[in-house]
Structure 1
Amino acid sequence: MEDKYHTAPIKIAKSFPLEDELAVMVMDVSPGMLEGDCYELEWTAGEGSGIYVTNQSFMKVHPCPDGRGAALKQRFSLAPGAFVQHMPEPVMLYKDAKFASDTVVHLAPGSAWMQAEVLCPGRTLRGEVFAYRRFDNRLAVYYGDELIFAQRQRIEPAVQPLSSAGCWDDKTHFGTFYLFSDKIDGSHPAAVREALDALPQTAGREVLYGVTLTHRHGLAVSAAAGAAWPLQQVLEAAWTCARSAVFGKQPLRFRK
């Protein structure tokens, strides 16, 4: 890591050397995101660099009684050959929370960007299931100057029939895995799907998932379940398979 700058409550807690990559732990030293908070994170990956970014715990969004909400803005700029993996812990939306997340990625030729996300419906053991106000999630990916992917997910439990058949039905947690690289080809969705089909399913915690190519240079996995941990297992399997099938990389190993 050549340079870093942060202000409270966000900081780089620690970096960990890997075989040919660097793992970075981002820490939020507050109890979580409160109404009016806006976190802005900008990452610049140099040519040929490899980085794995995660955080220390769930991103907790507290109640927003005034309706202003909390916001997260993330920007990733990748030089040629950069390899960025953004794997945060799940998002936890408390009762009356309102949260907007906006991520923009700029890819150069030969670079690769991955991200896995899990959305929790609230503190389920406290009866908070879809009791939040709104979740607005946006992702835009550019290859050079071309917009190759744009996604928006807006969930408003009070006005949407989330438990209806054809919507979320009996599922409460949602997860996604994205990979964007000009090395992706038509064989890679089948490889990821095969890896996910090989995972054991736990009774009562079954995961529904789908794998597809995006319009250009992208692969997407969407999954739904009744808890966070089965989704994390599925997305980790997709990530591990993608590392191997697309880039010939082994699973990450932290040095002892």
Structure 2
Amino acid sequence: MISSLKVKIEQREGTSFLKDAYVTQPFRIVPVGQYKRDKAAHLMIMSSSPGLLDNDDHQLEFNLAPNTRMQLQTQAYQRLYHMENKSTQTTLINLESGSGFSFVPHPVVPQNQSTFISHNKAYLQDDCHFLLSDIITCGRKLSGEEFMYNHFQNLTEIYHHNKLVVKDNVLLQPQKLPIQGMGILEGFTHQGTLIYYNTANVLVSDFIDFFQETYGEQENIEFGISKLEGNGFIIRVLAQGAEKLFEAFQKIQQKVWEEAYL
């Protein structure tokens, strides 16, 4: 089933708001930041579906007008069910000058024989901030379905004035690769990726130092952060549980949001 969600964010007197939304089943989009003081639009994607089923195709689009800000969230873990074929998701983010977009979704739980292909494309003008993360679990571990999915792929591309500046491709195929071997998960069961990039000439060296000091020596995780060409960084984290990763990414998002966006 093809499912669509299209959002347009505008601003009035410095306050960002949901100008227009088009959704088809099973999506809903709900404002959740009525009591926030940062003048940004805080929205939650809700779904009446338990997860992605075989042949589902989710098409998401977010358009931010000049000088707007949006922080997006999800309501629950995203489940990928048993599939004969595959499910796909395409996310398009258009940021006009002076806008900011931040999205830390809940972790993805791939079940037995699931195949999921996701493609994120972000188009930034000048003076923009962009943050996006994803967390992939090993599956239903307590049900004995550890690494029994077929294929998980999340491709993210960031463009500045239509020039590709960042490309990141997470591809996990447990049935074809030694998933817990050297250079892949190395004995861990969960992987997280977070990308931050700005075209506002905000230097990221202080962010990198702070996050490395905060998470680099924590027990039971492997944390790495690298500077991107231009003003951005990418974080990779390996862990044994989803909640720890999700909470860490939420804290990282809030740190960046408070110091870079506001």
TM-score past 0.5 threshold: yes
Instruction: Tell me the residue number matched to 1:254.
Output: none
Query: % of aligned pairs identical?
Result: 20
- Measured against aligned partners, the alpha-carbon deviations of 1:61-109 in whole angstroms (never above 9, x if no partner) come to 1011x2x200010000001111111121111101110000000000110
The 5 Å alignment of 1:28-39 reads 28-39=47-58
In the alignment of these two chains, the number of paired residues is: 241
For 1:214, give the aligned amino acid. L
Deviates more, 1:132-141 or 1:184-193: 184-193
| Offset at residue 40 of structure 1 (A) | 0.3
Counterpart code for 2:72: V
Deviations 1:18-72 (A, max 9, x none): 21212101111112110000000000011111111111111111011x2x20001
Judge conservation of contact 1:60–1:91 (CA < 8 Å) in 2: yes
Measure, in 1, the Cα distance between the counterparts of 2:204 and 2:81: 41
Distance 2:259 2:73 in 1: 22
Contact 1:44–1:76 (8 Å) recurs in 2 = yes
User: What secondary structure does 1:4 align onto?
Assistant: strand
Shift of 1:244: 4.0
Unaligned runs of 5+ in 2: 1-17
Q: Which of residues 45, 48, 68 in structure 1 aligns to 2:67?
A: 48
Cα distance between partner residues in 1 of 2:208 and 2:117: 30
2:163 alignment partner AA? E
Residue of structure 2 equivalent to 1:86: 103
Q: Which residue of 1 aligns with 2:112?
A: 95
Q: Which amino acid aligns with 1:221?
A: I
Partner of 2:22: 5
Tell me, in whole angstroms, the C-alpha distance in 2 between the residues paired with 1:194 and 1:239.
16
Judge conservation of contact 2:204–2:233 (CA < 8 Å) in 1: no
- Write the letter of the residue equivalent to 1:226: Q
- Measure how far apart 1:15 and its partner are: 3.6
RMSD (CA atoms): 1.6
Verify: 1:218 aligned to 2:232, yes or no: yes
Moved more, 227-236 or 51-60: 227-236
Q: Do the aligned partners of 2:216 and 2:224 also contact (CA within 8 Å) in 1?
A: no
Structure 1 SS opposite 2:21:
coil
Q: Which residue of 2 aligns with 1:142?
A: 159
Matched, 1:107 2:124: yes
Q: Which residue identity lines up with residue 178 of structure 1 in the other structure?
A: I
TM-score (norm 1): 0.89
Shift of 1:245: 4.4
The answer to whether the aligner puts 1:118 opposite 2:135 as a matched pair is: yes
Q: 1:227 aligns with which of 241, 246, 258?
A: 241
Shift of 1:176: 1.1
Structure 1 segments unaligned to the other structure (5+ residues): 250-256
Q: Secondary structure at the match of 2:213?
A: helix
Is residue 184–residue 219 contact of structure 1 (8 Å, CA) maintained in 2?
no
Structure with the higher strand share, 1 or 2 = 2
User: Structure 2-normalised TM-score?
Assistant: 0.87
The answer to whether structure 1 residue 242 and structure 2 residue 256 are counterparts is: yes
Q: Shift of residue 246 of structure 1?
A: 3.4
1:189 match = 208
